[in-house]
Amino acid sequence: MFFSSGFRIMSTVSMEPLLHHSVRESVRYALKSRIFKPSSWSCSTNHKLVFHARSFCNFRSSNVHALRASTTTDTDLVETLESTDIFFKETFPLKRMETVEGKIFIRLDHGQNNGNWQLTVGCNLPGKWILHWGISRVKYVGSEWDQPPEEMRPRGSIPIKDYAIETPLKKSSSSEGDALHEVKIDLIPTSAIAAINFVLKDEETGAWYQHRGRDFKVPLADYLLDDGNLVAAKRSFGVWPGALGPLSNLLIKAEVSPANDSESSNESREAKKKGRSLEGFYEEQPIAKQVAFDNSVTVSVRKCPETAKNLLYVETDLPGDVFIHWGVCRDDTKTWEIPDAPHPPETISFRDKALQTRLQPKEIGDGCCGLFTIEEGLQGFLFVLKLNKGTWLNCMGNDFYIPLSRSSSLLAKSRQGLSGSAQILEKNAEEKEEASLSAYTSGIINNIRSLVSDISSEKTRKNKSKEAQESILQEIEKLAAEAYSIFRSSIPTFLEEPIVDTEEPIAPAKISSGTGTGFEILCQGFNWESHKSGRWYMELKERASELSSLGFTVIWLPPPTESISPEGYMPRDLYNLNSRYGNVDQLKEVVKTFHEVGIKTLGDAVLNHRCAHYQNQNGVWNIFGGHIKWDDRAVVADDPHFQGKGNKSSGDNFHAAPNIDHSQDFVRKDLREWLCWLRKEIGYDGWRLDFVRGFWGGYVKDYLEASAPLFAVGEYWDSLSYTYGEMDHNQDGHRQRIIDWINATNGTAAAFDVTTKGILHSALERCEYWRLSDQKGKPPGVVGWWPSRAVTFIENHDTGSTQGHWRFPGGKEMQGYTYILTHPGTPTVFYDHIFSHYRSEIAALISVRNRNEIHCRSTVKITKAERDVYAAIVGEKVAMKIGPGHYEPSGPQRWSLAAEGKDYKVWETS
């Protein structure tokens, strides 16, 4: 048993999240339709809950008319209610947020094999928890992370760059029935690992949880000094004051003698290394998160036949003390007025403008209720609810309005039949805003319709060039992206891009910024070891003509700047272009050579982070030199390793270097100028953008609009969805996050289709080719939703090469290339595969793609997606199949075999 109690509701947060993102709410706890704001709550009968920062009632007049509201005993009212007919009854759903307290627990004990140890990390709060973790090696015990050995990685783990692993926590149960989420990591004490570092991520809210603003560190060696984030401070370690203070600390090894401080201080680190031994422990760390709970309030109104008064009954299942803040109105203006005494029990006046009554606990069942009698001649009953913690609940940002006459009730019901209870509200500022937005979006739609009519008309097809038609198509895409950005703020959906398949698609001369021609075939022109030659640019130059003859139109070059790491992904002086790949003159020469053979070049721009030149007064590396001199204001405030003074990050932090704060005007200005300088000085045609998950896509839009690339693609790397270590069939959430980023750039950049790569992994490795069709019969990756912004790939320098962080299933690479080179999207081929035994097969597939003019928006008709075979017809000219199962294309076309290999075939029309 890991702990003795489940989670409980609390009033204060004991642990702050590391990051506060633009949060995607979970369907389980909160609806996705709007962004939650903590100042007030809303509800409606159509289940679209909106949270607005508005006043809790609408006072329009300072004149208070004395109205009479009489009360009787509960028994009398109940008897009266039972004897009369209801002319109004409505149940309003309520959504409330509570801070729920739970525990993160960390346990080290012997695993199933007593020769090894096992680290368990868990949480007892609801959520979709991910352990983001890495190791510190014995020789390097600083803040740097490294990835653990393969044998330590639990099933379902996903590598993050080259420094961390993300492992989903699995659901389990304690002996007392508490729901747990936990992950178990098998440790190898002999493997020179000094510590396990981790943070806990809740994918439902996007929040990261640390310990005191630092990463958790579980020591596996007894000579580590406590830097404030150690857990399991053993009693025998005199150099440790105890990382977690008064937390429960249950050492499994019961008797440990205290260390002699003087001896400990004199003992060398090497001696301690030799004598180190693991001890079991169990510790708990308090954690809290906001969780949404569903409740409701029901209001019914009857007419008393004896007195002709209105009898109004309010009941709710809200827990705790609930106050109803109420008044009445005479007409449609809904001006609050106070009825004259007597009032229900426990009623007080609120600023002489409203009454506040404590609802009474129900005698049967949970919740509370209240009974009111209202005089004749009044049109409506107005109210909001107040919880005991000062939380107000209203209706769609307005007061609840209950009609007090049959005619007004019928009018309200007719309005509700059209669009829910929101129609009982009068026109307000929100409706005006929505009307304005509707008119604006209608204008966009009309423009799109006009452009579509233009491009599809017979006259246009005859008289307009293909370049002009492509320009119109790109204008449609821009308008669609703008419309999508509006609707995305209120509707959790995706943009299903309209496919316009021209009869003879020829690459236009005019190219829209960032989006390319649609016919790009991309080559990644390096691997993880390329820097070691010292003359990589010259080696690429020698192969420029060869790559052009194979059919490539774009080459992605390695990071050009001076870098702490030889591969180039830890840049320091951005204007210093003398790197391990060659000097600045060689870079200019290779770009010029590729242009001469008709290949565009992409620069690898690392914008998320930058390595500092100097330490600040506290010894933290966050002062930058070189051409762009920044201080710690350029570093985000929630990067715990580098203590910036900027604003909080707009994305995920990269642990190894200072994360740049792109919200700073001076930062964006300098980066815009740098990118424009690279375009002019070096001749880059576009960008591959590294680790774009670290900052908001809107900043990317700014940089791309300034530098005007012909093509741009972002590396938005995110974990796919797994359940108990098994990849989920539905990966809509994963590709939606990538599309959200693309949309934040206003569609000016594409993104690597990590979703498609992950699904191909599972489909090919497990012979589950049915995974390659989503629930609507479309490709299941980004290419199925927004193909012109999907850059497909099966391997790159991170996943393959000598790193091998997420290597494609061995021996099945050509099936992967058959898929991406015959499907829409922009395919990317890895350098290692081009110059290998796959070369001729890849060349044949590229030839088929070019010969049949497959482009990024080509149509796909999936004809088979079964256990052992996947088949599709693309653009009505190409048929393909992968997998060991049988498939032959049929139909009126005459098909001829164009390419064939192990478990794949491609046909084209004769």
- The Cα-based distances of 20 to 86, 206, 573, 618 in angstroms read 47, 7, 30, 26
Token pair, residue 697, equals 């896509």
Residue 498 lies in a domain: no
d(CA 770, CA 729): 9
Are residues 329 and 282 part of one domain?
no
- Residue-level length of the chain: 910
382 forms beta bridges with: 327, 401
Predicted confidence (pLDDT) at residue 272 exceeds the cutoff of 70: no
Are residues 324 and 282 part of one domain?
no
Residue 309: alpha-carbon gap to chain centroid: 54
Residue 250 lies in a domain: no
Amino acid at 17: P
Name the pLDDT band for 116 (thresholds 50, 70, 90). Answer: confident
Active site residue 715: yes
Quote the pLDDT of residue 363: 86
| Catalytic residue chosen out of the listed positions 470, 715, 732, 841 | 715
Residues of the chain above pLDDT 90, percent: 46
Provide the domain count of the chain: 2
Quote the pLDDT of residue 262: 39
Residues 692-720 have a mean pLDDT of 94
Q: Is 823 exposed, middle or buried (0-12, 13-18, 19+ CB in 10 A)?
A: buried
Residue 110 lies in a domain: yes
The range of the structural domain enclosing residue 158 comes to 99-224+278-286
Quote the pLDDT of residue 812: 97
Which of 386, 403, 420 is the last residue in one of the domains? 403
Token pair, residue 309, equals 């008064």
Pick the range with the lowest mean pLDDT from 43-47, 799-803, 859-863. 43-47
Q: Where are the extended beta strands (E) located within 13-68?
A: 67-68
Predicted confidence (pLDDT) at residue 229 exceeds the cutoff of 70: no
**Does residue 371 sit in helix, strand or coil?**
strand
Residues 487-515 have a mean pLDDT of 46
Q: CATH no. for residue 201?
A: 2.60.40
| 768-797 pLDDT per residue, tens | 999 999 999 999 999 999 999 999 999 999
Token pair, residue 447, equals 């423009």
Are residues 334 and 204 part of one domain?
no
Predicted confidence (pLDDT) at residue 603 exceeds the cutoff of 80: yes
Which of 355, 385, 403 is the last residue in one of the domains? 403
d(CA 23, CA 40): 18
Residues 698-712 have a mean pLDDT of 95
Are residues 153 and 282 part of one domain?
yes
Residue 765 lies in a domain: no
Predicted confidence (pLDDT) at residue 189 exceeds the cutoff of 90: no
Quote the pLDDT of residue 59: 40
Residue 457 lies in a domain: no
**Does residue 84 sit in helix, strand or coil?**
coil
Predicted confidence (pLDDT) at residue 432 exceeds the cutoff of 70: no
| 333-356 pLDDT per residue, tens | 788 888 877 788 888 987 777 899
d(CA 605, CA 435): 42
Are residues 212 and 126 part of one domain?
yes
Residues 648-665 have a mean pLDDT of 92
Which of 403, 421, 437 is the last residue in one of the domains? 403
Are residues 328 and 204 part of one domain?
no
DSSP string, 732-769: HHHHHHHHHHHHHTTTSSEEE-HHHHHHHHHHHHTT-G
Residue 122: alpha-carbon gap to chain centroid: 22
Q: Nearest 5 degrees, angle CA 389-CA 390-CA 395? A: 120
Pick the range with the lowest mean pLDDT from 49-63, 751-765, 796-810. 49-63
Are residues 318 and 282 part of one domain?
no
d(CA 381, CA 801): 71
Are residues 164 and 136 part of one domain?
yes
Token pair, residue 55, equals 């006043």
Residues 48-57 have a mean pLDDT of 32
Are residues 147 and 115 part of one domain?
yes
- What is the end-to-end Cα distance of the chain in Å, rounded? 68
Pick the range with the lowest mean pLDDT from 494-503, 537-546, 849-858. 494-503
Predicted confidence (pLDDT) at residue 736 exceeds the cutoff of 80: yes
208 or 855, higher pLDDT:
855
Residue 84 lies in a domain: no
Are residues 328 and 217 part of one domain?
no
Q: Where are the extended beta strands (E) located within 588-715?
A: 600-605, 614-615, 621-623, 686-689, 711-714
Give φ, ψ of 96 to 5 degrees: -120, 150
Residues 873-879 have a mean pLDDT of 95
Question: Cis before residue 342, ω within 30 degrees of 0?
Answer: yes
Are residues 282 and 156 part of one domain?
yes
| 4-26 pLDDT per residue, tens | 334 444 333 334 344 333 333 33
Quote the pLDDT of residue 506: 44
Residues of the chain above pLDDT 70, percent: 70
Predicted confidence (pLDDT) at residue 805 exceeds the cutoff of 60: yes
Residues 462-481 have a mean pLDDT of 64
Quote the pLDDT of residue 641: 85
Q: Tokens 């508490």: give the residue.
A: 178
pTM of the model: 0.53
Are residues 282 and 329 part of one domain?
no
Residues 623-628 have a mean pLDDT of 96
Predicted confidence (pLDDT) at residue 496 exceeds the cutoff of 60: no
Name the pLDDT band for 97 (thresholds 50, 70, 90). Answer: confident
Q: Is 728 exposed, middle or buried (0-12, 13-18, 19+ CB in 10 A)?
A: middle
Quote the pLDDT of residue 357: 93
Residue 370 lies in a domain: yes
Residue 844 lies in a domain: no
Quote the pLDDT of residue 859: 95
| 548-587 pLDDT per residue, tens | 999 999 999 999 999 999 999 999 999 999 999 999 999 9
| Catalytic residue chosen out of the listed positions 283, 562, 690, 841 | 690
